[in-house]
Amino acid sequence: MHRFATFLRHWLCTATLAVVAAVFSSIPATAQGVESLESAGRQIVISLADRRLYLMEDGSESRSFPVAIGRPGVAIPLGDTTVVRKRRNPTWHPTASQRRAKPSLPLSVPPGPNNPLGKYALDLGWTAIAIHGTNEPGSIGRRVSSGCFRMMPADIETLFAIAEVGTPVRVVDVSMKAPETVPAQPGKAAPKPLPPVQVAKTPPPVPPAVLVSVVAPAPIAAPIAAPIPAPIPAQIPIVPDPRCSTATAPLRRMVCATPELASLDGRVRGLQERFLTGLSPEGRAAASYALLQDERRFDDRITALCWIRKGSEADPAVATAAHGCLRAALSGRMEEVKTRIAELGGVATVAARR
């Protein structure tokens, strides 16, 4: 009888341990602590869905900052990397693709108010990708960059002081925000809370993996009918957009494929190139950068005014509306560039006399 009791006791202990092991092995890693985040130490997580940079301490968020991310059509790297270099007052060197798209770009832009990197830059392990400041604070929170992650001047200064070389960085395309809870109403059962968002483990970056959805612009009261200016003088050369061969955005493809729109756009570029050719090397670099910034703002504006969903340009009604919107915008763009050139010409003349 004593031997049977001993056997039964050992059997119960073994069965209990087996059940406990089975229960714990069935718990997913993300439930024990989000698998894709480090359990200890400091790291940076950038959520493309939130357009925010999260500074994590020991696996928990300590603070977050808004960021600008790559514009539609630009490949945004996903996955893991690290901070490989810190630069204070960085010099901006346009990439080869940026110079192909805009041949008039200078080879470099020194530190100063015209530098798009701002005062601080954290270079990442991916080629030509960095977390940096900006000289255009209004772009933060939008999809406007060439692949880098822009921050407000005060925010990048804070991050620059905290993050060290070697700090892990992860870019994800899911939201990091906690789910909202709905208060219970009298007489009704409290709704079940939404499950927490888990950050899935992301494979190494794949170049063509881009976000193709475009955020709808804020409602516009009514389309602004821009007056059509007088015919553009024939002597202005037509300079084709070098981006046409690789354009993926619906509006840019429409401009490239429609002779009337391509001609209007090409004459604007021709006017700019003719102006830049007559400047000194010093004046050309500054004026070229100013015109490039104007072009980016114009692209943002037509994206908001003439926006169409990718794949819908085959709809005749959509194409007709977008064509009329683009024609009015490009016609007004010529007058804007003429005014801007007059301003830059005066500044260049004063600079040349000093």
What torsion do the CA atoms of 170, 171, 174, 176 make, to the nearest 10 degrees? 50
Q: Maximum CA pair distance of the chain?
A: 112
Whose tokens are 């003088």? That residue is 233
- Catalytic residue selected from 132, 244, 256, 306: 132
Task: Give which of 344, 322, 352 is closest to 253, Cα–Cα.
Answer: 322
The burial class, CB within 10 Å (0-12 / 13-18 / 19+), for 137 is: middle
Distance CA(140)–CA(151), nearest Å, equals 6
**Residue 247 to residue 46: CA distance in whole angstroms:** 26
**126 burial type by CB count under 10 A (0-12 exposed, 13-18 middle, 19+ buried):** middle
Respond yes or no: is residue 148 known to be catalytic.
yes
The residue from 148, 306, 323, 325 that is catalytic is: 148
323 in catalytic set:
no
The tokens describing 30, both together, are 């993300």
Tokens 């959509």, residue? 318
- Structure tokens, 346: 């005066």
Q: Which residues are catalytic?
A: 132, 148
